[in-house]
């Protein structure tokens, strides 16, 4: 295990590194079965997706392409503003393509309901949503993911790509921060 000065801020571990790896491999197999003959395009939602995306595409050994989109619904802190902005648009035409959206967490649903409509408006043949984490208790929009890694309780989570104030993305597992970290 790598030396860490992040761990001291973690109250509890929700999903271990081993559990993440096992689940990502299962998701890769399911995506293989559905998309092997479809040449899909993975669209990762920056920045939270970056570690999950890297592991998921390597667990899904099919002909495919990848793209990233930058979206932001958070002004700061831990609550959704409800307004979604495109901070970096797709660089490729997606007309007629089968899109696999890769997201870190489905929370209020504002981000993914905006993105799904956007991709459909851009002419996608299909939009499939894969989210590492699902926090159904906080949903504001009627949206469900097609593939979910783990359902998590209503707590702010960090690690494996997910941040608090841009930090903790590089932790290899998913955890909850100590309350005092927020009041620093």
What residues are labeled active site? Answer: 107
Q: Is 111 in the site for ligand XMP (CB under 6 A)?
A: yes
Q: Which residues contact 10 (CB under 8 A, 6 or more apart)?
A: 171, 175, 176, 177, 178
Q: Which span sits near Mg ion by CB under 5 A: 1-9, 17-25, 47-55, 112-120? A: 47-55
CB of 33 to ligand XMP, least distance (A): 26
Tokens of residue 98, six digits? 């089968």
Give the β-pairing of 10-15 and 65-72.
unpaired
Q: Is 106 in the site for ligand XMP (CB under 6 A)?
A: yes
As a 3-state breakdown, the chain gives helix, strand, coil percent values, each rounded to 5, of: 30, 30, 40
Residues 74, 81: Cα–Cα separation, whole Å: 6
Q: Is 103 in the site for ligand XMP (CB under 6 A)?
A: yes
User: 53 — phi, psi (to 5°)?
Assistant: -60, -45
Q: Is 48 in the site for Mg ion (CB under 5 A)?
A: yes
Tokens of residue 60, six digits? 């899904």
2, 33, 69, 100, 136 from 109: Cα distances, Å: 34, 27, 17, 17, 9
Which parts of 1-40 interact with ligand XMP (CB under 6 A)? none
Q: Is 175 in the site for Mg ion (CB under 5 A)?
A: no
CB of 7 to ligand XMP, least distance (A): 17
Q: Is 158 in the site for ligand XMP (CB under 6 A)?
A: yes
Tokens of residue 70, six digits? 């930058």
Q: Is 105 in the site for ligand XMP (CB under 6 A)?
A: yes
CB of 119 to ligand XMP, least distance (A): 15
Q: Is 48 in the site for ligand XMP (CB under 6 A)?
A: yes
108 binds, among Mg ion, ligand XMP, none (CB under 5 to 8 A by kind): ligand XMP
Binding site for ligand XMP (CB under 6 A): 45, 48, 73-74, 80, 103-112, 156-158, 162-163
């Amino acid at each position: 295990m790598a030396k860490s000065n992040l761990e001291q801020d973690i109250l509890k571990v929700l999903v271990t590194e081993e559990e993440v790896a096992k689940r990502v491999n299962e998701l890769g197999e399911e995506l293989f079965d559905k998309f092997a003959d479809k040449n899909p395009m993975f669209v990762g939602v920056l920045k939270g997706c970056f570690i999950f995306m890297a592991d998921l595409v390597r667990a899904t050994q099919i002909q495919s392409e990848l793209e990233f989109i930058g979206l932001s619904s958070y002004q700061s802190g831990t609550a959704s503003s409800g307004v979604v902005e495109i901070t970096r648009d797709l660089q490729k035409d997606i007309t007629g393509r089968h899109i696999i959206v890769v997201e870190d967490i489905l929370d209020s649903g504002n981000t993914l309901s905006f993105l799904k409509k956007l991709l459909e408006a851009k002419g996608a043949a299909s939009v499939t949503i894969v989210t590492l984490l699902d926090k159904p208790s906080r949903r504001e929009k009627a949206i469900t993911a097609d593939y979910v890694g783990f359902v998590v309780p209503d707590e702010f989570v960090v690690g494996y790509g997910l941040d608090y104030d841009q930090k903790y993305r590089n932790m290899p597992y998913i955890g909850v921060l100590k309350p005092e970290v927020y009041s620093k």
